[in-house]
Chains A and B, each alone.
Chain A
Amino acid sequence: MATAVKSYPRAGDQPAPRPNIASANVQLPAVRDYEQVDNEITSTLHPTVAWFGGLAVAVVCMLIGASAWTYQIYWGLGQAGYAPPVMWGVYIITFVFWVGIGHAGTLISAILYLFRAGFRTTIYRAAEAMTVFAVMTAGLFPIIHIGRPWKFFWLIPYPNWRLIWPQFKSPLVWDVFAISTYLTISTTFLYIGLIPDIAVLRDRETNPIRKRIFSVLSLGWRNSDREWRHFARAYLFLAAFSTPLVLSVHSVVSFDFAMAVTPGWHTTIFPPYFVAGAIFSGFAMVWTIIIPLRRWWGLKHYVTLNHLDASAKMVLFTSLVVGSAYLSEFFIAWYSGIRAEQEYFWNRIFGQWWWAGWSLLICNMVFPLSLFSQRLRRNTTWLFILSIIINIGMWMERFTIVVPSLSHEFEPWQWTHYQPSWVDMSFLVGSFGWFFMWFLLFIKQLPVIAIAEVKEIVPPKLRTAHPHADHIDSSGRHADYEPDTPGEFA
């Protein structure tokens, strides 16, 4: 008779480590030395046929949008599908959508940097670039929306012969300051972080023209201790500035709505609700970008499952925050006793806009609950599919905020419908083309994974154990507390 053999843990056996603990102590066990980092990351810069194909698709989409803009400038803003009083439509929806996409970049590069979240190291460059291009895209839409784009500079306060100034109490002027500051600081943050990596490219480049270009772009960076010391301090302060900035920008965008006495808009929950939604959608777009890239480039040992797992927890958290905000809106509308509010939310779920209301709830609240499963958090195919679902859901969320409120205000005789025109949808397609065109151009010119920061978490070559044994042990491995971000250097 066979006897079942039961194994007991032996003395001294350690429990198996959990597969993912998001902490500052992120290691890349498959990355052995600095040479490997340089070789593998710079090898991503060679254009491929697939890249040219993707760029061609993006340019075609961008041209569709450009053609629509030309058409609209010639025929006027009436070509957009506005139906009074619904005078905000796809342009404002897409503006808010892209501003939201831009938020995850700064969250990953600045806020997670300050919190020493190590999983940011290999994805933050892609997220930062995404931020810059998303805000560039978003910034176009208010200009498109004003109908006479050549007069957009009237929003900027500058001395002029008409002796008139913008209305500083208007949320639209707040937007101008917030978005332009955000674009400037995001671009600065991206560029400053790129300088040491451009120096790497400069020193490896053999083509004299490209070498000269990289020399200029790297500003003569030479990796001296003086440069690193000031760089680390400046980077820390830029992160410290960017952190409240990222929270303020989408708050200001939410004020565009919350300042109006319109059902569904006039609520104090909007700023945190918008910020959480922005981070949620931005992370989804990071997945949409980074999951294919890590596969095509063979960089799964840089952007590991642990990194994606940790970011999935962030998405799950922000999904729960956004879901709470949705439910709070319904509750407050019911509890307020204001009939216009109650009718608006009823209309959003059971009336005219039921399809939009339910699609956002399902995409943004129900599907992300799957991330409670660790197996799904570590399934890249599911994460990619989920990222598309979330992107769609977050665009629908902005649609549900903008259109149903305007189409169902206080006066029943004003109630109407809204149907985007082909011009509207061409702009939407064009915005994706514009965004991906810049991103695809970026990833073949500059490293999309930060070389210098990755080197910080790769053990350096050591000859012997030296007196600083509290940092490095005799086998050349970092001690656990070794930070993986340059801010500690200063």
Chain B
Amino acid sequence: MRGVLGVFQHLDAAVDAIEDLKQQKFRDITVYTPTPRHELEHALHAPHSPVRRYTLVGAVLGCTFGYWIAIWASDYWPLVVGGKAIASWVPYTIFGFEVMVLVGALSTVAGLFISARVPRLTTVVGYDGRFSHGDYGVFVETVPEQVQSAEQLLRRHGAVEVRGER
């Protein structure tokens, strides 16, 4: 991965740089920000997160398992009391619900990890400790011929530091 990193101290400068990069047909842009900002999100036109699919699948599987384990165990080891139903759906809804929440939430976390590509044990090209502090980073992947134009664009929009990364 080769590209150019621009460090910005002002949010609006970073947003302007991103919009200009988009207009100049730079496609692979990564923005580092100490806190999520709508302005950056709008400028990037990022697609919706797929995490919701993991949530849905996990919740359905969890709910199914919760009901199943209660019904199966009751049927396997029946405790018949007063002729009442062996599998009683009213109390078993507690198991369906609790396991739905458990598996749904854990699969949401799995979806986050897979989509955001964490955990990550190696240092990533383009990251700087300042980006968790207060500065904004705009990293754009380029071919060698476009490095100079990308650097000029970032400087023009007020980047306090521009450097090549590989």
Contacts and interface: CB of A to CB of B under 8 A. Distances in A.
Contact of A471 (B39, B108, B109): B39
Interface string A190-222: 001001100110111000000000000001111
A452 B105 CA distance: 22
B41 A225 contact: yes
B120 A220 contact: yes
Contact of B30 (A225, A230, A462): A225
B124 A220 contact: yes
Interface stretch (A127-135, A157-165, A335-343, A377-385): A157-165
Contact of B39 (A166, A185, A224, A468): A468
B42 interface: yes
Given A35-B133, A490-B48, A223 B34 contact: yes
Given A168-B92, A219-B120, A234-B109, A157 B69 contact: yes
A33 interface: yes
A325 B46 CA distance: 49
Given A227-B116, A248-B97, A34 B51 contact: no
Interface in B71-129: 73-74, 76-77, 79, 88, 91-92, 94-95, 97-99, 101-102, 104-106, 108-109, 111-113, 115-122, 124, 127, 129
Contacts of B9: 461
B73 A203 contact: no
Contacts of A163: 77
Nearest to A34: B134
A199 B111 contact: no
A375 interface: no
Main secondary structure of the interface of B (DSSP, over half): helix
A461 B95 contact: no
B32 to A, nearest CB: 5
B49 A462 contact: no
A35 B134 CA distance: 7
A148 to B, nearest CB: 22
Contacts of B127: 222, 224
Contacts of B30: 224-226
Main secondary structure of the interface of A (DSSP, over half): helix
Contacts of A229: 36, 41, 46, 49
19 contacts: A168-B95, A169-B74, A177-B99, A178-B98, A192-B109, A222-B32, A223-B32, A223-B34, A224-B31, A224-B32, A225-B44, A226-B115, A227-B116, A229-B41, A238-B105, A455-B34, A463-B12, A468-B12, A489-B36
Interface of A: 33-35, 38, 157, 163-169, 174, 177-178, 181, 184-185, 188-189, 192, 195-196, 199-200, 202-204, 219-234, 237-238, 241-242, 244-245, 248, 252, 452-453, 455-456, 460-466, 468, 471-472, 482, 486, 488-490
Given A220-B122, A230-B51, 5 more contacts: A177-B98, A203-B130, A222-B120, A225-B44, A461-B134
